[in-house]
């Protein structure tokens, strides 16, 4: 094989290996982006919508309970407002989760169907209760409390379980993205080392093929073999040996330039991956904080509902005591 052919062969091998390294890293980055997009576009919006549904259910139940107790038409209108908002939010949740599409998970469909069915039953019973109340004017607190407790005790656990499943998915995808990021960095360093080793081996082979028939180049070639790329062969004449020495010097120059360019590319690529990793971790941390804040809001709403129920019980007892006193009087 001619010397020029050997040089072209060496460059082609290194170009192919470098292209393969970039393709491998690009594939890993695409997988990371896909996982993060699934968090941002699928799972996180689903959790937010489920939290919103929980809030709507609690507020709607409060309005439904207050209407016959307080007798204010605004409470009835408020309930139907929340009922309409519930239907709209549920529709949006179905769109997010890919409802009635092959992409939707069976367990998601099960929970969404359960929530929808339970709300429909609740709405039907509440509507009937309102009609009876408006006809008779009699408040059946036990009846409305039974309706509320029966359906709320079913809907809230369903929503909580759905949120828990989506959070588990977010955590799983988050861990996968971190693992892929680390794997991409490790593969990059490992592949870069392999490329450098192959590059040096091929370079050594070319150098050895040049210096074997040429004794005058032995000392310089020996230095190059040891990794010293600063030395150059002396050109004594313009004959074939001079041309060979000139080609040899050009080859060393190319090796030095390629190594410098490769080192720069490696440093730039490593920096980009580290910045991407830091950005991904920051995004996930922000999303996690937002979810914690939403869960805290849900807890506060629940505590508020319990407090209102206790106050209603106390009010009922006070009314009974007043009735007893009036009867005695």
Q: Which residues contact 206 (CB under 8 A, 6 or more apart)?
A: 3, 6, 7, 10, 251
Longest CA span, the chain: 135
pLDDT at residue 273, as a whole number: 84
Pairwise CA distance, residues 293 & 44, whole Å? 13
**Tokens describing residue 325:** 């006193």
Under-50 pLDDT residues of the chain? 1, 36, 38-41, 213
pLDDT, tens digit, 9 for 90 and up, residues 230-279: 767 677 666 566 677 778 778 878 877 887 888 888 888 888 888 888 88
What's the N-to-C CA distance of the chain in angstroms?
Answer: 123
pLDDT at residue 41, as a whole number: 47
Q: What angle do CA 214, 215, 220 make, to 5 degrees?
A: 95
pLDDT at residue 39, as a whole number: 47
pLDDT at residue 257, as a whole number: 82
Q: Which residues contact 250 (CB under 8 A, 6 or more apart)?
A: none
Q: Where are the domains of the chain?
A: 3-328
What is the torsion angle, in degrees rounded to the nearest 10, for the CA atoms of residue 271, residue 275, residue 276 and residue 278?
140
The pTM is what? 0.42
pLDDT, tens digit, 9 for 90 and up, residues 64-97: 888 877 777 888 888 889 889 989 988 888 888 7
Q: Which residues contact 115 (CB under 8 A, 6 or more apart)?
A: 53, 90, 155, 158, 159, 162
pLDDT at residue 25, as a whole number: 60
Contact 212, 286 (CB under 8 A): no
3-state secondary structure labels for all residues of the chain: CCHHHHHHHHHHHHHHHHHHHHHHHHHHHHHHHHHHHHHHHHHHHHHHHHHHHHHHHHHHHHHHHHHHHHCCHHHHHHHHHHHHHHHHHHHHHHHHHCCCCCCCCHHHHHHHHHHHHHHHHHHHHHHHHHHHHHHHCCCCHHHHHHHHHHHHHHHHHHHHHHHHHHHHHHHHHHHHHHHHHHHHHHHHHHHHHHHHHHHHHHHHHHHHHHHCCCHHHHHHHHHHHCCCCCCCCCCCCCCHHHHHHHHHHHHHHHHHHHHHHHHHHHHHHHHHHHHHHHHHHHHHHHHHHHHHHHHHHHHHHHHHHHHHHHHHHHHHHHHHHHHHHHHHC
pLDDT at residue 85, as a whole number: 92
């Amino acid at each position: 094989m001619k010397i020029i052919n050997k040089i072209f062969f060496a460059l082609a091998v290194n170009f192919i290996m470098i292209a393969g390294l970039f393709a491998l890293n690009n594939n890993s980055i695409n997988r990371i982006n896909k996982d993060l997009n699934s968090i941002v576009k699928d799972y996180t919006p689903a959790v937010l919508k489920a939290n919103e549904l929980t809030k709507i259910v609690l507020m709607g139940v409060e309005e439904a309970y207050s209407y016959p107790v307080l007798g204010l038409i605004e409470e009835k209108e408020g309930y139907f407002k929340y009922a309409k908002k519930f239907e709209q939010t549920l529709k949006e949740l179905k769109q997010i989760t890919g409802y009635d599409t092959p992409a939707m998970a069976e367990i998601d469909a099960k929970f969404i169907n359960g929530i929808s069915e339970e709300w429909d039953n609740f709405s039907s019973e509440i509507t009937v209760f309102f009609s009876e109340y408006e006809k008779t004017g009699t408040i059946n607190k036990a009846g409305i409390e039974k309706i509320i407790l029966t359906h709320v005790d079913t809907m809230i656990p369903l929503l909580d379980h759905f949120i828990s499943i989506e959070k588990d998915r977010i955590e799983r995808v988050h861990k996968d993205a971190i693992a892929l990021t680390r794997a991409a960095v490790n593969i990059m360093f490992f592949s870069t080392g392999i490329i450098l080793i192959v590059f040096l081996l091929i370079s050594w082979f070319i150098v050895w093929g040049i210096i074997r028939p040429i004794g005058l180049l032995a000392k310089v070639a020996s230095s190059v073999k040891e990794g010293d790329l600063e030395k150059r062969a002396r050109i004594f004449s313009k004959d074939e040996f001079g041309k060979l020495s000139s080609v040899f010097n050009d080859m060393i120059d190319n090796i030095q330039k390629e190594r410098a360019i490769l080192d720069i590319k490696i440093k730039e690529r490593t920096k980009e991956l580290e910045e991407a990793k830091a950005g991904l971790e920051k995004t996930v941390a922000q999303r996690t904080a937002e979810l914690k804040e939403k869960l805290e809001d849900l807890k506060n709403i629940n505590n508020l509902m319990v407090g209102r129920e206790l106050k209603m019980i106390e009010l009922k007892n006070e009314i009974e005591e007043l009735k007893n006193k009036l009867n005695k009087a």
